[in-house]
Structure formats: C-alpha cells, structure tokens
C-alpha cells in the first residue's frame, strides 16, 4: 500500500453508523500520521442453490458507500486515499486476507456490539479481525 515501511491505514466500511465512525477515526489517523488510507468494502455474499451468489449490497450501492468515504477523507485533508471492493462469504477472512496482501500497517473497523446471543450465533467481524490481524487494529464504536 505504501513504500515507507509503515503501511497504510485500512478502513473497513459497509454503510452503517459504526462504519461511519470508523471512517472518521481512520481519517484522523491518516491525516495525523501522514499515511495513505484505503477504504475496503467487503460485499457479503450468500450461496443461492445453483444461481450466482446473492450480494448484500448492489454494485452501485457498494460503490456509493466507498465514494462517500473517499469524499469525506479528501474534504478532511487526506490526499492519499483509495478504495477497494471485494465479495466474499466470510467478511472477516476477506478483510484479513486483504490487509495481509496489501501490507496494511493498521486496520480500523466499526462494531455494532451485538447482544451476547448474537455474538454466539453469528460471531463478530470486528472480534475476528482483532484476533487475526497482521497489524494493530482500532475498533470504533
């Protein structure tokens, strides 16, 4: 992501309020540290019995979420900002693969802090990212 050895800041977005807070924090970090910023949206997919996978977001909606994040970053002083869009059944695993492959120096994710039973049944993307990240992680609430 960057050639300075420090690695860019990777900010995970999905259009939620918690992701908006992650964008705000990531922009503050990137601006303050002079780092490149990459916004990643993992469009969650589900299998569809013999049909193409079902995406959580339409292509236009996913691109608009990323465009909003880029505009916010540039309006707030971050010049080195880019976007990435991937599709995957496992959002956390996709984030971790992308971060490792891109050499991210820091990851910023949001969390909705689901109720205990929700975490037991579904797991938590932010929790999985924190546990498996190849770099430091900030969890925004």
* DSSP symbols for 45-68: EEEETTEEEEESS-HHHHHHHHHH
Query: Which residues are paired to 127 by β-bridges?
Result: none
Residue with tokens 């019995």: 49
pLDDT in tens, 5-30: 479 999 999 999 999 999 999 999 99
pLDDT at 113: 61
pLDDT in tens, 35-45: 999 999 999 99
pLDDT at 6: 79
pLDDT in tens, 67-126: 999 999 999 999 999 999 999 999 999 999 999 999 999 999 998 765 555 444 445 899
pLDDT at 112: 77
Domains and CATH numbers, the chain: 9-140 (3.40.50.620)
């Amino acid at each position: 992501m960057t050639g300075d050895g420090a690695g860019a800041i990777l900010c995970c977005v999905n259009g939620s309020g918690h992701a908006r807070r992650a964008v705000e924090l990531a922009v503050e970090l990137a601006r303050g540290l002079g780092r490149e910023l990459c916004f990643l949206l993992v469009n969650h997919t589900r299998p569809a019995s013999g049909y193409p996978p079902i995406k959580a977001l339409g292509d236009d909606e996913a691109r608009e979420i990323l465009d909003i994040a880029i505009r916010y970053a540039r309006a707030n002083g971050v010049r080195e900002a880019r976007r990435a869009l991937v599709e995957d059944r496992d959002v956390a695993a996709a984030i971790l693969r992308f971060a490792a492959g891109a050499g991210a120096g820091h990851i910023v994710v949001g969390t909705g802090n689901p109720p205990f039973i929700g975490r037991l049944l579904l797991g938590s993307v932010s929790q999985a990212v924190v546990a498996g990240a190849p770099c430091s992680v900030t969890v925004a609430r």
